[in-house]
Amino acid sequence: MTELLTPQSLYDQDILLWVEDTIAKLKAHDFANLDLENLIEEIDTLGKSQRNAIRSLLRRLIEHLLKRCYVPLPECYVGWQKEIRAFRNDIKDILEDAPSLKNQIVEILPKVFETALASMREEYPQVSFPNSWLENCDVNDILNRNFWENS
């Protein structure tokens, strides 16, 4: 008894070639031959990936802001400030391509802060971090303000 093998789709064989083929079909208005199932999945994944990237970068940014503002290790300040600049620049780059994600930062900030704070309390148990911080800050503050200069 011989099993029938279904040929692998282009999507399964070579994702880059599938993307190029999909772009060509879209440009040619060849909508009838689009691999809609995989196209929808890829677009959905792209949106989720952007949101996850923002969440991860924001968490790392807040961790470094907390360290810089509250952990008394002056020999680490320059390194932490470099990381803060890098995370801010990465977030700004993403927001330049997807400005609507700025609204998501506002939505996820409390949970991200909570996660970052828990991480910092575990890493630096001797430091007294604030239970609430950044509550009255907007996204522009978080992405631009050097909070340690006001301490």
Tell me whether residue 23 is in a domain: no
Could you tell me the residue range of the domain that residue 116 belongs to?
41-150
Burial of 4 (0-12, 13-18, 19+ CB in 10 A): exposed
Q: Are 94 and 101 in contact (CB under 8 A)?
A: yes
Domain for residue 53, yes or no?
Answer: yes
Do the domain assignments include residue 4?
no
At 1, is the pLDDT very low, low, confident or very high (cuts 50, 70, 90)?
A: very low
d(CA 50, CA 132): 27
Given a cut of 70, whether residue 3 has pLDDT beyond it is no
For residue 30, tell me if it sits in a domain: no
Q: What is the pTM of this model?
A: 0.78
List pLDDT tens digits, range 78-130: 999 999 999 999 999 999 999 999 988 989 999 999 999 999 999 999 999 99
For residue 145, the number of C-alpha atoms closer than 13 Å in the C-beta half-sphere is: 14
Number of domains making up the chain: 1
> 2 lies in a domain?
no
Task: Report the SS3 class of residue 39.
Answer: helix
- Please give the average per-residue pLDDT across 22-46, as a whole number: 91
